[in-house]
Homo-oligomer: A and B are copies of this chain.
């Protein structure tokens, strides 16, 4: 997780990648409609800013709202299913099923049921986000240290107290593992949801670019999506560091 502190490594790897790409473009004279060179993408990225900034904002808003809802639902589902084992037995398989309704097929139904508003889009992002969080959190809860659990039970902790004071903090690292996966998917989820029929958003920008054969703009969109994802991911990692800091603070001689 020191990935972001020691930022120079990945950054230089990426720069190297870009240089190779640029060189290859020049060398093999790849036509730009097939694969634009980084410099062309960069130019379009600068030039197109006034065009796509509204799209960008719209996607960011959608992602944040969707990811938040997905997280809340994911955690809530994990908690409910964990605390109510019978409910878990009933719903867990259904939850897995929910992940396998192909969104592309769900899309028309969602639009037919909920219209073209923001609701079907949020449903899509939520569907994409909540599952990794819920699975990771449930597995985390399940793996609580047995000795600590024994103590809590003997000390007369109620189910709720055991959950709040033991299982929850214990599952936090696992939960963050799920959050990381979800954060990564949330931006993609937003973009997909925009294909559901939206007026703005990176997804729309990309479809338009692609259908008018502007490969350079498609790549600008890809890089915007990537940048958004990285920012989200970094945010989760910061949150993780801040939340489970006892791990780093306590285990100093974990040489």
Contacts and interface: CB of A to CB of B under 8 A. Distances in A.
B177 A136 contact: yes
B99 A184 contact: yes
28 contacts: A1-B142, A3-B88, A9-B86, A10-B94, A13-B90, A13-B94, A14-B93, A14-B94, A93-B230, A96-B230, A97-B226, A97-B229, A97-B230, A100-B187, A100-B188, A100-B228, A100-B229, A101-B222, A102-B225, A105-B210, A105-B221, A135-B177, A135-B180, A135-B181, A136-B181, A139-B173, A139-B177, A174-B177
A226 B177 contact: no
Interface of A: 1-4, 6, 9-10, 12-14, 34-35, 85-86, 88-94, 96-97, 99-102, 105, 109, 112, 131-132, 135-136, 139, 142-143, 146, 149-150, 153, 173-174, 176-177, 180-181, 184-185, 187-188, 191-192, 206, 210, 218, 221-222, 225-226, 228-230, 233, 251, 253-255
Query: Which of A85, A229, A255 counts the most chain B CB atoms within 10 A?
Result: A229
Majority secondary structure, A binding face:
helix
B34 A112 contact: yes
A132 B188 contact: no
Each complex incorporates copies of this chain amounting to 2
A245 B62 CA distance: 43
Contacts of A100: 184, 187-188, 222, 225-226, 228-229
A176 B187 CA distance: 25
Contacts of A185: 99
Contacts of A3: 88-89, 92-93
